[in-house]
Amino acid sequence: MGLFNLPPIWMAPMAGEASSATLVAAVSAGGGFGQLGAAYLAPARITEIAADIRARTDQPFGINLFCPQPWQPDDAGLDAYLARLAVWHAELGLPAPTRPAQFEEDFEAQLAATIAAKPAAISFVMGDPGAARVAALQDLGFTVLGTATQVSEGLALQASGVDAVIAQGYEGGGHRGGFLGTPEGALIGTMALVPQLVDALDIPVIAAGGIADARGVAAAQALGASAVTVGTAFLLVDECPLSPAYRAALLAARDADSTLTRAFSGRLARGVANRVTRELEGLVLPAFPQPNAASRPMRQAAAKAGQADFISLWAGQALPLSRKPGSAAELVAALTRGWTA
């Protein structure tokens, strides 16, 4: 056991198709620290999934939420985006897209459900939860984690009192988790970011981004990380309930197919390029979460229809390293060998 009495290998929280009790429990039962990406879950689902994880394992797990981000409604921008989606809706045989009735879940209600679920750690991304909230959660006994993509964010999170900072390097899959300046202004690779955060902070740093095998784990340890968090590689383990089209696209992609895009959500994220990322390249979109909510029906229908061109194929640059078949426990064991070597 290591940091906070947790194993050194953590599975990154992954909101969306991968946020399943089966996967989180398989990681924790398999000797890693599984984390549930709860950002898109209704509070009642957080409660249900956490209970399901508990029923499957008595090992600790974490829950992750997106910090609430202020955004301006942009009806004209949203309508322009819906017009682009309409073409793909037609290809998928879906009715024309409409303005979503709800854009995001209620953060306070999600947090209340998260607290009631009693995970070992609560992690935040895309923001600084602030000193008052961090202290309140710590008083309740939680380990509180924040996510930084640059040193200034790590310092802000440390000032708010978090127990540790996750350093999210440029290589990583999914949304960029930073919150100061623009995401494009903080595209720092894991190799450069982790040691700079380790030097700047007095609290532990957990490395994320591009770590997919024992070599990456050993490298992160050499850079001073106190644990590692791995996302993309866990997408391809047996217990991950990825749709067949998403899985097939990940299995076929090359390193150079990885791209940063706002096309699906309005917020910069890394995934495998497809028609949506290519055809919307350069288009100015309304702020997150408006496109995220608007594109959800298309993404879900595309996953069912086996159409990877219309799915947000979030994955990191180390994707081709992640393709060893096997279970979550086998991947945890392989990664742990890099930590203990």
Ligand X SMILES: Cc1cc2nc3c(=O)[nH]c(=O)nc-3n(C[C@H](O)[C@H](O)[C@H](O)COP(=O)(O)O)c2cc1C
Minimum separation from the CB atom of position 232 to ligand X (A): 3
Identify which of residues 81 and 124 has a Cβ nearer to ligand X in the complex.
124
Contact positions with ligand X (CB under 6 A) in 213-242: 230-232
Minimum separation from the CB atom of position 313 to ligand X (A): 9
93: phi > 0 → left, psi -120 to 50 → alpha, else beta; which?
left
9 forms part of the interface with ligand X (CB under 6 A): no
Question: Which range binds ligand X by CB under 6 A, 148-156, 164-172, 193-201, 286-294?
Answer: 164-172
241, two tokens: 């309930």
Question: Which range binds ligand X by CB under 6 A, 6-14, 106-114, 154-162, 257-265?
Answer: 6-14
Question: Which range binds ligand X by CB under 6 A, 131-139, 172-180, 197-205, 293-301?
Answer: 172-180
Distance CA 88, CA 101 (A): 20
Contact positions with ligand X (CB under 6 A) in 71-90: none
Strand segments, DSSP code E, in the chain are 9-11, 34-37, 61-66, 121-125, 143-148, 164-168, 174-175, 205-208, 227-230, 258-261, 269-272
Identify which of residues 66 and 81 has a Cβ nearer to ligand X in the complex.
66
3-state secondary structure of 276: helix
For the chain, how big is the Rg over CA atoms in Å?
19
18 forms part of the interface with ligand X (CB under 6 A): yes
3-state secondary structure of 9: strand
Length of the chain: 341
Taking CB under 6 A as the criterion, the residue among 220, 315, 329, 335 binding ligand X is 315
174 forms part of the interface with ligand X (CB under 6 A): yes
Q: What spatial distance separates the first Cα and last Cα of the chain, rounded to whole Å?
A: 15
Q: For binding to ligand X (CB under 6 A), which residues are involved?
A: 12-16, 18, 37, 39, 64, 125, 147, 168, 171-174, 177, 208-211, 230-232, 314-316, 318
